[in-house]
Amino acid sequence: MVISPFVGLYVEFVLGARHHIPALRMLPGYGFWDADKVNGNPWGFWGQRLLTVVGVTTVCWIIVTLLTRPTEMGKLKQFYLKVRPLGPGWRYVRRQCDNPPPFESGWLVLRIWLTGLMLVLGAIVAGVEFIRGHHFMMAFWVVVAVAGFVLLKRGMGHADGSFNERVESEVTAGGSDTK
């Protein structure tokens, strides 16, 4: 999962986890993460760690992409119809579908993404603040995570509702044509 190195970096950077969890030193490539080895300046080293994680992750997914077979068009169509991803990369697959669904509102997709981000990051930071013993900040981030969950559920309800309305209108339109 792409986010896991970033979570590890956050926990390591904020908590100084190397002092609390000595087993981290046994991780492969740990020297890349050790800010104490670079002039004792963890703030200046943060950018280098971030770029290292992004670079290694990018190299890994490019290698995996080039070494694996392309996905069959039938599976891509099935995925597209179920998920309805946006973006120009899906244009070819969309054109291959007989009756592609209309796009969701870009604002609705952005709303769902932002509220999902609130949920995930709120939960992660709440856990970190719990470990640090900052209970007031933990409570704040729990409220952010819960608000993200509620807003995400509401946004997904709007997306499901608009999808169900389209399906029902297609069924009724198809039913009236057969009479």
Q: What pTM value is reported for the model?
A: 0.49
Q: Compute the mean pLDDT over every residue in the chain, rounded to the nearest whole number.
A: 75
The model's pLDDT over 118-171, given as tens digits with 9 standing for 90+, comes to 999 999 999 989 988 899 999 999 999 999 999 999 988 877 665 566 556 555
| Residues with Cβ within 8 Å of residue 10, at least 6 apart in sequence | 124, 128
Q: What are phi and psi of 3, to 5 degrees?
A: -75, -20
Question: For the residues 53-64, what does the mean pLDDT come to?
Answer: 88
Domain ranges of the chain: 1-68, 70-102, 104-179
Question: For the residues 7-18, what does the mean pLDDT come to?
Answer: 56
Give residue 18's pLDDT. 55
